Amino acid sequence: MITVTRTSMPPLAEYVAYLERIWPTAYLTNNGPLCCELASQLKDCLGVGNLELVANGTLALQLAIKALEVRGEVITTPYSYVATTNAILWESCDPVFVDVDPQTLCIDPALIESAITARTSAILATHVYGYPCDVDAIQNIADRHGLRVIYDAAHAFGVKLNGRSLLAHGDCSTLSFHSTKLFHCGEGGAVIARTPALSQRVFLMTMFGHCGEERYVEIGINAKMSELHAAMGLSVLPRVDDFIARRRHCSGRYDALLEGLPLHRPKVVAGLDYNYAYYPVLFEDHATMMRVRRALLDHDIMPRRYFFPSLNTLPFLREALRRPCPVSEDAASRVLALPLSAELEDAEVDSVVGCLREALAW
């Protein structure tokens, strides 16, 4: 079976070596030495100054919203994973969906301003598949209207734009270290904040807002990463460059083998140092995509309709929140993420493409 992604496991001995450091101390959580070590390695590797580890990427979004005191309406993308919208709703804010750019599938900055109202307090956009949003245009709008900017950067681990970490943009960026992501801790995530003060606030909020022995500073939650998850992260992190290289190789192989077929790929902007997190392809229409998907499934190949549904059509949204987003809805109706991981073999890329060609009768 070829699945859309496979979790890359570190050598067991390396994970065990970290566990052996934990055992004598019985220090399993509460920002222990392994979490501190992981946070420091991640800051170096990602080139960011302020980073707080958290239990998962969804809590990272919720904490960013809380720590920035975002309320009312949040302008957001309909083309992302459901966690992006859920985090907004969970924090009692209203998502205002603004359609995406048909080339990049990231939020279209040209449509943001007309969606701003007196209740708007933030823009929460996703660097979808690790492709950057138009960060300069978004910041410019945010500055003119006094809005906060949060990036869901769950796909953007290690991505650079013009030589600088993509995570350095906005007031906050959030990462997910779920086992399906490029870099993982099993479960985990991080908040990258523009200022040390904001980072400190997020940190405090991850531990009940409880500081020192008897200081209860503000409302917090438990969003701490455990030492066991940090141990996984520390064993995986040294391999990330190899993962990216292998993914780059497989993506290049797909590029070469799919050349000339009737399908589209999102546009890559200039100055991008990409992480090869996903390999999305857009077919000509919904029926073609479904035909290809069926053919792949029949050969035990599991692509994923990533992203589907377009989030503005989620069934549990209040009627007033369901604005049409034709570009996103169209993309969601005909996109497939093809299998891609550091574990994918050349022969597997070849069988995915062989099967896809056959379904397209090309």
* Residue 124 in the binding site for ligand PLP (CB under 6 A): no
Q: Report if residue 56 touches ligand PLP, rule: CB under 6 A.
A: yes
Stretch touching ligand PLP by CB under 6 A, among 33-41, 77-85, 209-217, 334-342: 77-85
Q: Which is nearer to ligand PLP, 116 or 191 (CB)?
A: 191
Identify which range of 52-60, 263-271, 281-289, 336-344 contacts ligand PLP by CB under 6 A. 52-60
**Does residue 100 sit in helix, strand or coil?**
strand
How far apart, in whole angstroms, are the C-alpha atoms of residue 225 and residue 40? 14
Residue 188 neighbours by CB under 8 Å, 6+ apart? 53, 54, 55, 56, 57, 176, 177, 178, 225, 229, 230, 232, 233
Q: Which of residues 160-219 bind ligand PLP (CB under 6 A)?
A: 176, 178, 189
Q: What is the DSSP track for 174-202?
A: EEE--TTSSS--SS-EEEEESSHHHHHHH
User: Is the preceding peptide bond at 307 cis, omega within 30 degrees of 0?
Assistant: yes
> In this chain, which of 57, 109, 132, 266 binds ligand PLP, going by CB under 6 A?
57
Reduced to 3 states, what is the DSSP secondary structure of residue 75? strand
Q: Is 116 or 148 the residue whose CB approaches ligand PLP more closely?
A: 148
Q: Which residues of 192-218 are buried (b: 16+ CB within 10 A; e: fewer)?
A: bbbeeebbebbbbbbbbeeeeeeeeee
The only residue of 8, 77, 80, 104 in contact with ligand PLP, by rule CB under 6 A: 80
> How many CA atoms lie within 13 Å of 223's alpha carbon, on the beta-carbon side?
27
Residue showing the smallest CB distance to ligand PLP in the complex: 57
Q: Does 279 bind ligand PLP (CB under 6 A)?
A: no
The residues near 145 (Cβ < 8 Å, ≥ 6 apart) are 113, 116, 120
Confirm or reject binding of residue 223 to ligand PLP (CB under 6 A): no
Closest CA to 162 of 272, 274, 45, 276: 272
> In the window 309-328, what residues touch ligand PLP (CB under 6 A)?
none
Instruction: Give the number of residues in contact with ligand PLP, rule: CB under 6 A.
Output: 14
Closest CA to 123 of 90, 170, 157, 59: 170
Which of 351, 36, 61, 355 lies closest to 225 in space, CA to CA? 36
Q: Taking contact as CB under 6 A, which single stretch among the options 106-114, 147-155, 229-237, 250-258 is the one that binds ligand PLP?
A: 147-155
For position 152 contacting ligand PLP by CB under 6 A, the verdict is: yes
Identify the residue among 18, 79, 81, 274 touching ligand PLP (CB under 6 A): 81
The answer to the question of residue 83 lying near ligand PLP (CB under 6 A) is: yes
Is residue 76 close enough to count as binding ligand PLP by CB under 6 A? no
CA 110/CA 112 separation, integer angstroms: 6
Stretch that binds ligand PLP, among 8-16, 18-26, 53-61, 314-322 (CB under 6 A): 53-61
Nearer to ligand PLP, 176 or 356 (CB): 176
- Positions in the binding site for ligand PLP (CB under 6 A): 56-58, 80-81, 83-84, 126, 152, 154-155, 176, 178, 189
